[in-house]
Every structure is written in structure tokens, then in C-alpha cells.
Amino acid sequence: MKKHSSKHAKRILNCIPSKAVENDWGLAAAVAANIATARKSLPKQIDLREKWWHINDQKDTGSCVGWATADGLLRWHFVKHGLIIPKQLLSVRFIWMAAKETDEFTDTPSTFIESTGTSLKAALDIARKYGCVTDEVLPFDSARLSHLDEKAFFATASVMKIANYFNLRRNADPIQSWKQWIANGNGPILVRLDVDDTWMNATATKGKLDAYDVDSADGGHAVCIVGYTPDRIIIRNSWGDKTWGDKGFAYASYEYAKAAFTEAYGVTLSSGLKKKDAFAPVKKGVGMEQVDTSLALRNQPVLISADEKVVITGGHGVGNG
């Protein structure tokens, strides 16, 4: 693990690069599986942010992989599929600690060592193999263990599994891949970066991340992509809504995003699960006009008409079900 410097010492940066990414399924596999559609026309901007989806603060813990995966990725999907209600939190601690305990990076016990990291794929494999539990079952801000027996615990977790994950960073144009994924109604994207000075100064720039400073890159961090604009990628962090960026969010230029984000993964749920909300057309979002793909697309392809309105084109299902 790359050590972070004293200037970034208030935050533990310990997201380790995933292994064997060359074996991952990519966007082409998702298109072949009818999970995504290769679109020539995309919405100009999409914003997945929601009022119920409050940004939490990992504080001085090394739990970014847990927060980005459980709170930034899985929670959106499980709320949209009716598996949890919006106010419920998922167990960041479960995803975080289980990934550390089962990953391939060390043979020594490390779940009790704060700075020891883990990877995005290790966390996603936990969600795929075992699922996830709520924060009530295994709280983040508590040293207590679960009182469920082993079978009951993992049976509870199994209700909230992902079906698979797709590597969205391998294409020559990752920005287009990310926009395609989100425009297909497939939700947020889990990403990894090595934090640079631009990232650390995001509060002063009101969340704008313009140029990636590779010389100051200093330790891995996990966050989520939750939308895009004509020239920015919307980023959801886990450093609270008062101490970083624009109320916890940032807006990375396409150039910054391509240079900074070394990994990117989207997930799908079981084909038997349907998003519970009805489709809604364009509405006013957080400072921009947005296509509300946080509501269900009813598994139908969506295109943008000449007058910038969302239309349902019919045909085979897209998304997760």
C-alpha cells in the first residue's frame, strides 16, 4: 500500500488497486447481455442525487471502500428495488471488514489495523457472494459484534446480493462508458483514484476538480460517480457534507476523471428484481436539469428526442431486470 503523506494525514487513503482486472467483464459484455445499450444519443446530463441519500463521514477511519460500496453504490440500488427504505443505512462495516478479511493482499490478520486497505473488487465480491446487511445488524459506530448466529447472519445478508459487476474503465473512452452506463438506468459507478492536491483542495474550489496533479497523487481512495453534465462528472465522497467539496460532492472535468480514476465498476442485481418506482421525465435537479434515472425505466430503452425530452422507445429490457 502506498503511504500517504502528512499533508493528507487527516484522511486514511488505503484503497488498493484491484488484481486481475484484465479478466473482468466490460461494457461490451454488458451490452451483449442486454444489461446496457450502446447508444449514439445520450442525455446531456443526468444527476442521480437524492434528498434521502445523505453523505456520511468516514472520519479518521480507513473505511472508504466500505462507504463507497455500501452507502454509495448498493444503497441506491437496494432502495430503488424496494429491499430497504430510503432512511435505512447498509452496513459499511460488514463490506469493509469482510473485504479486508477475505482479500488476496495479505495472509496476516488485519481487520483490526485501521490503515490496512482493501480493493474495490474485494468489496464487490463480498456483495456478490454474500450480500449485505443493514447498519442495524452490524453498526459502523460500534465495537460490538453481531448477536445473530452464523447461518442467520448470512441468510439475512443473502437477501441483498448483487448479481454481477462490470469493469467500465477498460475502454479507450471511459467517459463515454460511464455515461452509457448511467444513461441505461444502471445506477452509480464505484471508482478508485490516487488522491492528489486538487482533490484535497476541493472545498476551496467549491467542488470543481479541473486538472489532475499526478506528482502529488498520494494514496488510494474509493468514491462513486453519481451523474454527469456536458463537461463534468459528478462525484459522491464519504468525507461528510461540511468539510469537503460542494456539500460532499465534486465535479471532475472529463480530463481530471480520465487521469484520476484508475478503476470503475457498475453492478446489476438479480433479473428477478424490478425497480419499484414509476418512470418520471425530465425534472429540475440540484442546480441543473436532470433526467431522473433514479426512478425506474421499467426496463425499456430511453432515448432523447430532438426537443430534449425523454422518450421510451420500447424493445428489450435494459438495466438490472
Is 218 part of a structural domain of the chain?
yes
Is 10 part of a structural domain of the chain?
no
Give the helix, strand, coil percentages of the chain, each rounded to 5.
Answer: 25, 20, 55
Is 1 part of a structural domain of the chain?
no
Nearest CA among 76, 303, 92, 83 for reference residue 186:
76
State residue 104's pLDDT score: 65
State residue 148's pLDDT score: 86
Please state, in angstroms and rounded to a whole number, the distance separating the CA atoms of residues 139 and 32.
39
Give the chain's domain count: 1
**8 A C-beta contact, residue 302 and residue 311:** yes
Instruction: Name the residue range of residue 68's domain.
Output: 42-312
Average pLDDT, the chain: 82
In this structure, which amino acid lies at residue 116?
T
Is 108 part of a structural domain of the chain?
yes
Is 14 part of a structural domain of the chain?
no
Please state, in angstroms and rounded to a whole number, the distance separating the CA atoms of residues 212 and 219.
14
In the chain, what is the greatest distance between 2 CA atoms, to the nearest angstrom?
59
Is 3 part of a structural domain of the chain?
no
Please state, in angstroms and rounded to a whole number, the distance separating the CA atoms of residues 35 and 18.
23
- Sign of the dihedral through C-alpha 265, 269, 271, 275: negative
Residue 223's φ and ψ, nearest 5 degrees, are -145, -175
Please state, in angstroms and rounded to a whole number, the distance separating the CA atoms of residues 163 and 272.
10
Is 69 part of a structural domain of the chain?
yes
Is 32 part of a structural domain of the chain?
no
Q: Where are the beta strands (DSSP E) in the chain?
A: 46-47, 164-167, 189-194, 208-209, 220-228, 232-236, 249-253, 261-268, 283-284, 289-290, 302-304, 310-312
| CA-angle at 316, arms to 313 and 321, nearest 5° | 115
**8 A C-beta contact, residue 32 and residue 249:** no
State residue 284's pLDDT score: 35
Residue 301 to residues 67, 114, 158, Cα–Cα distance (Å): 30, 44, 30
First to last CA, the chain: 38
State residue 114's pLDDT score: 61
State residue 266's pLDDT score: 98
Low-confidence ranges of the chain (pLDDT < 70): 1-9, 103-115, 271-321
Burial class (CB in 10 A: 0-12, 13-18, 19+), 48: buried
**8 A C-beta contact, residue 298 and residue 312:** yes
- Sign of the dihedral through C-alpha 19, 73, 88, 299: negative
Q: What are the cell numbers at 305?
A: 428526442
Q: What is the CATH number of the domain that holds 209?
A: 3.90.70.10
Nearest CA among 159, 184, 149 for reference residue 270:
159
State residue 314's pLDDT score: 30
